[in-house]
Structure 1
Amino acid sequence: MSMPTHIVACGGIIEDNKGNILLVKTHHGGWVFPGGQVEVGENLIDGLMREVKEESGIDIEVSRLIGVYSNTVTYKGYDGVTDIPTKVMMDFVGTPIGGELTTSEETTESKWVPKNEVLDFITAPAIQTRFKAYLEFTGDVQYMEYVTRPEFTVKLDRKI
């Protein structure tokens, strides 16, 4: 029996002192809050700080965990061959502490968006749902299981 394989990723909802949220535009996913896969041997906080810096040019301080999500569907990746396993994602809130807005190989644009306009930019249902959890955060961490294919479906939704 082989060991299970999961992708571990972190998302960063980065809010500046004016109530703006950092968004990046990706080649495949449109507008999202920055984040990505944690690398082997890297802790979650360092992974998130690296991903935000790579995708947007912004240095951050991470303050709190607000959501844990499992995407339990397996599907073929962009190459049509590689199986993409279950993803476990943790969303953290952070604040900018330096850097300058830029783009990367993964992003075509980055910008600060007023908090009340963010959902006008984000089109992916899973990312919208995770951002809404930030807007509704009252201290309890959101835990959700969902699948993104063939369509976005929430299978479990609770506070922990």
Structure 2
Amino acid sequence: MNRPLHTVIVSVVVRDEEGRLLLIKHPHRGWELPQGHVEQGEDLFAAASREVLEESGYEVEVVRLIAIFSKLSPEPSSIIFGLAARLAGGEATTSEESLEVGWFDQELALDMPEHSVNRNRLQKLLAPQQGVGYYSYSMSPFEYVQEHRI
């Protein structure tokens, strides 16, 4: 029996002591939050900390789940966990996945993502909210299918 598979991804909102947001410049997608795949058997918070460190050089402590995004189409379908993290140390370092690393005030950060999905995800993650947001969307064209607070 073939079972459909979802890719599991973490997307991490990190703020510094001044309230600025950490963004990385991906070589293909442009500016975005640190994010990446959860490896098999890896805890979500551990994956978030690892991805931020690999892409930015910063150590973080994950503090809470903000939202869950379900990408329905096209393949591969994905589940993206949006997490908030607190800066714990380190210094800016680039990688193959991050051409640049920077801290930006929220207003500027909201305008920086070039990819519409990443820009919209950042808006959802930064919006004032109670509870955890759940969003399912498709890509052809990009549109939300469901939006809930849980």
Does residue 118 in structure 1 map to residue 109 in structure 2?
Answer: yes
Preserved contact between residue 66 and residue 142 of structure 1 (Cα < 8 Å): yes
Preserved contact between residue 66 and residue 137 of structure 1 (Cα < 8 Å): no
Determine the structure 2 residue equivalent to 1:11.
11
Preserved contact between residue 8 and residue 89 of structure 1 (Cα < 8 Å): yes
Matches within 5 A, 1:2-151: 2-74=2-74, 84-148=75-139, 150-151=140-141
Deviation track 1:121-141 (CA, whole Å, cap 9, x = no partner) reads: 112222222212222232221
Q: Which letter does structure 1 place at the counterpart of 2:53?
A: K
Give the Cα separation in 2 of the matches to 1:159 and 1:125: 22
The two structures have a TM-score, normalised by structure 1, of: 0.89
Unaligned runs of 5+ in 2: none
- Using the TM superposition, name which of 18-27 and 150-159 deviates more: 150-159
Aligned-residue CA RMSD (Å): 1.2
Runs of at least 4 residues of structure 1 off by over 4 A?
none
- Using the TM superposition, name which of 136-145 and 57-66 deviates more: 136-145
Give the Cα separation in 1 of the matches to 2:144 and 2:33: 20
Preserved contact between residue 111 and residue 119 of structure 2 (Cα < 8 Å): no
Preserved contact between residue 7 and residue 87 of structure 1 (Cα < 8 Å): yes
Give the Cα separation in 2 of the matches to 1:119 and 1:151: 21
SS in 2 for 1:107: coil
Unaligned runs of 5+ in 1: 75-83
